[in-house]
Amino acid sequence: MTALPKAELHVHLEGTLEPEDMVRFAARNGVGLPWRSPEELRAAYAFTGLENFLSVYFQGCRVLCTREDFRELTVAYLQRAAGQGVRRAEMLFGPQAFLDRGIPIGEQVGGIVDGIDEVRETHGIDGALLVSAHRHRSEGDALELLELVRPWRERVLGIGLGGAERGNPPAKFARYFDAACAEGYRTTCHAGEEGPAAYVTEALDACHVERIDHGYAAAENPDLVARLADEQVTLTMCPLSNLRLHVTDDLTTYPLRRLLDAGVPVTVNSDDPAYFGGYVNENYQAVTDALDLTEAEVTTLVRNSFSGSFAHAEELRDVFEELCPKASDVSRCVGS
């Protein structure tokens, strides 16, 4: 898997915080944690579902306090990703949890872009930042977040929406996405993880997003599957996350291959890898083993990761030539 160049489109930067670093940052910043060691912390990762996971996840967010913390977190993830063959990483990041604690947006985003620039120079990986709002909050809060990141417009590639789906349908944030589109951001939305297939449709029709994060439930609706294939809407699926949060209890029944066979541009990603037991290569390996994917199917997933990214076609020319050396142009490689 490492030899294959790939892009990662669905990874939460806060979710790459390894237990050892959480404990280290907590000590450095004087933040108390309910766990006394990395081992005790790992034992808490037996999640019963998304809301249980989020309670632990937000505890971890508390230890990130300074620009240097955000830089170190970004560097650690991007270096690990580069070691797994990732050439481009579009990282989701939710500033609201940190703004609540009085950490200025400049400290957060500044540290992240410091890390992106550093690892681009040292490891050649192209990192991009997607700012994500929390859907359990109000749309007004999300719109305020857009205002706060405006000074960083040149370094924020896209806007997303994440968090607990239940009771928080995408349409609740239609004006937020409209405003993001008006400012030229690329857009993506979590839908169809714990929420129904109807949330995927709503994200497309009410919010007009370009990409769907997860989209697991879409497989239950044949008409929606046909639409996703026809419109070539990328799904950023996360097998180990879905397994650990009991979205599915068996990867042998995971709908990735059925979606792929139907022509949906599915991708494989790690979501919150420090919490779910695997980065992007472990996710590829898990779903390949469970579904007995062929080499050609894995290559299609890899191609989808680049064609579904928010990079310009010219930025992807070299990697597509590497993946499809006999293709005369990028479009032939993407469609092959």
Burial of 249 per CB tally in 10 Å (0-12, 13-18, 19+):
exposed
Diameter over CA atoms, the chain: 57
Residue in 193, 194, 202, 297 annotated catalytic:
193
- Sequence-distant (6+) residues with CB within 8 A of 127 are 74, 78, 88, 89, 91, 115, 116, 119, 120
Q: φ and ψ at 46, to 5 degrees?
A: -95, 80
Cα dihedral value 146, 192, 164, 135, nearest 10: 20
> Is 193 an annotated catalytic residue?
yes
Cα 187 from Cα 46, distance rounded (Å): 32
Cα 54 from Cα 194, distance rounded (Å): 13
Cα 331 from Cα 302, distance rounded (Å): 15
Cα 236 from Cα 228, distance rounded (Å): 13
Asked whether 196 and 268 are in contact (CB, 8 A), the reply is no
Catalytic sites, residue numbers = 193
